[in-house]
Structure 1
Amino acid sequence: MTDDVEWETRLRALPSTEWPDFLTAHSGLPGPRANLALVSAVARTAEPAVIAELEKTDDEFAMMCVAASRGARSDDADVLRRQRGHAEDQRWRVREGAVIGLQLLGDRDIAALLSIVKSWAEETDPLLQRAAVAAICEPRLLRDPRTVGDALGICATTTAHFVTWPSERRRAPDVRVLRQTLGYCWSVVVAADPDIALDAFLGLDPDHPDVGWIVAQNLRKSRLSRILRDRGEGVAR
């Protein structure tokens, strides 16, 4: 398996005009899983000229890489404005690229990432809310109590927004994308620091039809079930 560093080395040796064909050849698609190591390598190495070249193709994998590249640079206000569009894209791989890029931003500047995701969590667009939750609920980013607390707040905020929508709205595809993300992200935050996040998770309403689903999905995650078992928590759902 080729790692990020080797992909970066190969990419740097190519002129910008050759990147689209190279990415198509090594995307891993069609197939069950895109080449995420290559996506991350592109995000770390792509210059503006390369990003522009990739954007011309409008190919889904190329656009996934564009979204990741812009996400990693979203501490720039002009880039962030364009990144919103990637987070709201109807293609799920492009949205995933946006999240990958934001997480790369968080690796080097967690404060910049938190500023973005806190703002997006308050937006009315469920796809922006989804990007906020998915970007911060990454184990490698939850390294201190303050960040865990911020991530918990984003999970709570987006879940609270979700509950306010009428049942018909909650069946819409974009809202269901948010629900799917909330179905695992709570467990990531609880696992990062149960002392901070567990009580909030246990306080979610299991009788709400969609929140109950979110709770049940998180309880299926081994990282959460192990914590509950170790603490002797009996959670009947």
Structure 2
Amino acid sequence: MGAWTERVAAACAAGEAAVTELLTTHSGLPGPRANLALLAAFGDVAPADLVVLLADADDEYLRSCGTAALGRLLLEHARAASPRAADAGAWRATLDARACDASWRVREAAAMAGQRLGAGEPAALVALADAWLRTGDPLPARAAVAALCEPALLRVPALRVAALDACARATDLLRAVPAAHRRDADVRTLRQALGYAWSVAVAGDPDAGLPAFVVLARDPDADVAWVVRENRKKKRLAALLA
């Protein structure tokens, strides 16, 4: 057990006030970088009731901690190991909402929750990402792409397939946005994610990914062309293309 995990566990034993004091004191905010090690430690050991409580907190860092920790609760449910399985629907609804949160930190925490789920139960992440993509909304689609396009996850064949599929479907969504709405904040957020995600997905499965990227590079859509240019700048893809 790491040092942060031990401190979070001790705070959890002392009660909600002790946990929130620990998290807010050591959040790293305001500042350029939040304390992700502490966020992960909270996700490792926090009880379900406290996770749910913080996932609805007004404070951005507390809400991020609760959101990311939802991944562990859903993983326990997927493994049929959770004593709170009846609450899984509510946990999932909260995670869906946080994938569309006004805070980019919280949206990133939703993707982290998906990654934690996928690290333990890949099929559960594939299903989650599919549901997010089927909404047809840019922010859930961005969450799906960000959750799947994580190099550590792409050792799993099913997740390599899902990552390329998510990139393709999210790009289709971007292409379908009317010109008048291409500069909307949520659309730009999706475009930004696709600007790196394709390189991760292609590097994870070059045999399938490179042909798909070559086809993508011929797309005349201006925003898709931007996505292609940004991914070409990534060393992991540039080496493959060379």
TM-score by length of 2: 0.88
CA deviations 1:19-48 (Å, max 9, x no partner) are 111111111111111111111111121112
CA deviations 1:55-76 (Å, max 9, x no partner) are 5641100000011011333353
Residue of structure 2 in register with 1:7 after alignment: 4
**Which one-letter code corresponds to 1:111 in the other structure?**
A
CA drift of 1:53 comes to 4.7
Residue of structure 2 in register with 1:188 after alignment: 200
Distance 1:158 1:202, change over 3 A: same
Q: Secondary structure at the match of 2:240?
A: helix
Equivalent residue for 2:109, pick from 64, 79, 97 = 97
Q: Secondary structure at the match of 2:102?
A: coil
Distance 1:207 1:56, change over 3 A: closer
Q: Does 1:32 align with 2:32?
A: yes
Distance 1:48 1:187 in 2: 36
Distance 1:146 1:104 in 2: 16
Q: Does 1:60 align with 2:60?
A: yes
CA drift of 1:82 comes to 1.2
**Unaligned regions of 5+ residues in structure 2, if any?**
79-87
Q: Does 1:200 align with 2:212?
A: yes
Distance 2:36 2:103 in 1: 16
Distance 2:197 2:53 in 1: 34
Residue of structure 2 in register with 1:164 after alignment: 176
CA drift of 1:189 comes to 0.7
Equivalent residue for 2:186, pick from 146, 163, 174 = 174
Distance 1:167 1:72, change over 3 A: farther
Distance 2:56 2:93 in 1: 19
**Which one-letter code corresponds to 2:4 in the other structure?**
W
C-alpha RMSD of the superposition: 1.6
Residue of structure 2 in register with 1:147 after alignment: 159
Q: Does 1:70 align with 2:84?
A: no
Range moving further from structure 2, 105-114 or 199-208: 199-208
Range moving further from structure 2, 197-206 or 213-222: 197-206
Equivalent residue for 1:211, pick from 220, 224, 227 = 224
Distance 1:52 1:17, change over 3 A: farther
Q: Secondary structure at the match of 1:73?
A: helix
CA deviations 1:78-123 (Å, max 9, x no partner) are 3111111110101111111111111011111111111110121121
Q: Secondary structure at the match of 1:29?
A: coil
CA drift of 1:193 comes to 1.6
**Which one-letter code corresponds to 2:237 in the other structure?**
L
Distance 2:113 2:130 in 1: 16
**Unaligned regions of 5+ residues in structure 1, if any?**
230-237
Equivalent residue for 1:109, pick from 118, 121, 124 = 121
Distance 2:57 2:207 in 1: 48
**Which one-letter code corresponds to 1:157 in the other structure?**
R
User: Conserved in 1, the CA contact under 8 Å of 2:67 and 2:113?
Assistant: yes
Residue of structure 1 in register with 2:82 after alignment: none
